[in-house]
């Protein structure tokens, strides 16, 4: 599939014209996605002239190891930070293709309780056939192993790792871990997909968050094909923002809720990543995956104004109009009920699960369809034509632990 992304991302690569080493495919092929590398017959790589030239890949140097072309390896990254007297090795899965191409990195569980991304990374890495891959896919299924083991979003010192990138070698524990990951792995990536879920007791429709004012990031986003695409530069200190700032185009893929593995959302995420691999010219075959176009959205949170027990009425992905009932908050003592109405019309792309809420709780994330021209105006800080009142009620929910 020819897209601008292919050329843009491949443009910076130095292609070594050496002979590919002996292929050793150690990947376990499970549940191949129809139309992906694992399911298709191996044929000539498609896409841009750089990849399509049939150039072979050279050995990949990563984390003090050499990975031969056409092979799958499990490497280890350690931040060298000890909380329990021993430092912990974090698995890094590498599918290094026989053909030259970009290094696409996938990170998951930067927040240790976000499980869907772990499964997405596992599926992608084990479904890829390195022998017919052009480029490299590096997957870190569980970046925050400390948090994962405790079922926690945070590091043991209660810090949010995704606010400390690119980190500092001499900073706090969180800052040192961030620095180690950024320096040892992320700087070796040509593009990054950081996979998240909604924060505690909230769930997200599969969607991309991306700084669409950056042309390379926009092209990367469009490689996912048909997906909800929200413009945001990303929180300060987030992995995707730091990577983008370092010249590595990055997006956040959101899917589902923490502490749960949701098969349908995992499937959507895996399919989106394979469409991206196809768009980047990394997959074999001359029949491109059906992709469709992403749809641009701007979103704003609607908050509960009363405390009590929230029962949601709307559904994730539902289209709502101004005045529709989204949920009901009931005071458990007085039995007083307060209804949360939609104050903008749009698509429900994120929402709270049923729970006890305080006044001010970010309950429903409503996205309004827009176009790239409007996104560009918003990104540039200029006035927008999309939806009267939208600007004044703009609420990205970042202080509520988003992303």
Question: Which residues are at the interface with Zn ion (CB under 5 A)?
Answer: 111, 114, 196
Query: Closest CB to Zn ion among 114 and 219?
Result: 114
Q: Evaluate whether 58 touches 18 at the Cβ level (below 8 Å).
A: yes
Considering the complex, what minimum distance in angstroms separates the CB of residue 326 from Zn ion?
Answer: 23
Of the pair 196, 303, the CB lying nearest Zn ion is at 196
Angstrom distance (rounded) from CA 138 to CA 95? 6
Nearer to Zn ion, 161 or 173 (CB): 161
Report, in Å, the least distance between residue 160 CB and Zn ion.
Answer: 9
Nearest approach, Cβ of 196 to Zn ion (angstroms)? 3
Please give the angle made by the CA atoms of 368, 370 and 376, to the nearest 5 degrees: 125
Per the CB < 8 A criterion, the answer to whether 239 and 110 are in contact is yes
Least distance CB 258 / Zn ion (angstroms): 8
Peptide bond into 165 cis (omega under 30): no
Q: Which of 223, 156, 180 is nearest to 63 (CA)?
A: 180
Nearer to Zn ion, 114 or 129 (CB): 114
In whole angstroms, how close is the CB of 111 to Zn ion at the nearest point?
A: 4
Give just the sign of the alpha carbon dihedral 165, 168, 172, 178: positive
Min separation Cβ 162 and Zn ion, Å: 6
Given the complex with Zn ion, which of 127 and 160 has the nearer CB atom? 160
Percent helix, strand and coil across the chain, each to the nearest 5: 25, 30, 50
C-beta nearest to Zn ion: residue: 196
Nearer to Zn ion, 114 or 400 (CB): 114
Q: Give whichever of 73 and 240 is closer to Zn ion, judged by the CB atom.
A: 240
Evaluate the CA torsion angle 30, 35, 40, 44 in order and state its sign.
Answer: negative
Q: Which is nearer to Zn ion, 114 or 119 (CB)?
A: 114
For residue 399, the minimal CB distance to Zn ion (Å) is 14
Tell me the closest approach of the beta carbon of residue 198 to Zn ion, in angstroms. 8
Q: In angstroms, rounded to a whole number, what is the distance separating the alpha carbons of residues 96 and 60?
A: 7
CB of 4 to Zn ion, least distance (A): 29
- In whole angstroms, the minimum distance from the beta carbon of 124 to Zn ion comes to 18
Eight-state DSSP code of residue 219 = H
Q: Between residues 176 and 196, which has the closer beta carbon with respect to Zn ion?
A: 196
**Gyration radius (Cα) of the chain, Å:** 21
Report the C-alpha gap between 367 and 386 in whole angstroms.
11
CB atoms within 10 A of CB 186: 24
Residue 49: partners with Cβ closer than 8 Å, 6 or more residues away = none
List all residues 6 or more positions away from 74 whose beta carbon is below 8 Å from its beta carbon. 91, 92, 93, 94
What is each CA distance from 195 to 137, 191, 322, 339, in whole angstroms?
A: 14, 13, 31, 33
Q: At a CB cut-off of 8 Å and minimum separation 6, what does 283 contact?
A: 36, 37, 40, 45, 46, 132, 133, 134, 274, 277, 289
- Cα–Cα dist 275/267, whole Å: 12
Which residue's CB is nearer to Zn ion, number 111 or number 218?
111
């Amino acid at each position: 599939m020819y897209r601008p992304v292919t050329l843009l991302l491949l443009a910076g690569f130095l292609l070594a014209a050496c002979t590919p080493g002996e292929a050793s495919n150690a990947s376990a092929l499970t549940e191949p996605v129809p139309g992906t590398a694992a399911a298709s017959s191996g044929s000539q790589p498609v896409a841009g002239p750089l990849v399509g030239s049939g150039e072979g890949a050279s050995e990949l140097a990563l984390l003090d190891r050499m990975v031969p072309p056409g092979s799958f390896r499990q490497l280890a990254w350690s931040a060298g930070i000890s909380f329990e007297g021993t430092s912990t090795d974090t698995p890094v899965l590498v599918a290094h293709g026989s053909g030259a191409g970009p290094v696409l990195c996938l990170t998951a569980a930067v927040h240790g309780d976000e499980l869907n991304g772990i499964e997405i990374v596992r599926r992608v890495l084990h479904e890829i056939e390195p022998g017919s891959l052009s480029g490299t896919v590096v997957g870190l299924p569980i970046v925050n192993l400390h948090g994962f083991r405790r079922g926690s979003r945070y590091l043991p010192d209660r810090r949010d790792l995704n606010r400390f990138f690119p980190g500092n070698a001499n900073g706090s524990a969180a800052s040192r871990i961030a620095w180690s990951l950024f320096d040892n792995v992320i700087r070796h990536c040509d593009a990054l997909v950081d996979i998240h879920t909604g924060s505690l007791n909230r769930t997200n429709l599969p969607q991309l968050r991306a700084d669409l004012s950056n042309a390379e990031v926009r092209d990367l986003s469009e490689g996912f094909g048909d997906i909800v695409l929200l413009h945001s530069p990303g929180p300060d200190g987030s992995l995707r923002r730091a990577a983008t700032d370092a010249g590595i185009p990055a997006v956040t893929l959101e899917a589902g809720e923490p502490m749960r593995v949701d098969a349908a959302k995992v499937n959507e995420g895996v399919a989106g990543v394979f469409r991206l691999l196809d768009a980047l010219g990394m997959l074999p075959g001359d029949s491109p995956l059906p992709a469709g176009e992403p749809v641009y959205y701007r979103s704003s949170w609607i908050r509960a104004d009363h405390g009590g027990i929230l029962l949601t009425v709307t559904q994730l992905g539902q289209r709502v109009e101004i005045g529709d009932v989204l949920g009901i908050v009931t005071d458990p003592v007085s039995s007083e009920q307060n209804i949360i109405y939609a104050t903008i019309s749009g698509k429900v792309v994120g929402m709270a699960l049923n729970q006890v809420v305080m006044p001010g709780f970010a309950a429903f994330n409503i996205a309004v369809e827009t176009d790239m021209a409007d996104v560009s105006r918003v990104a540039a800080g200029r006035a927008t034509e999309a939806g009267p009142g939208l600007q004044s009620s703009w609420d990205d929910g970042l202080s509520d632990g988003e992303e």
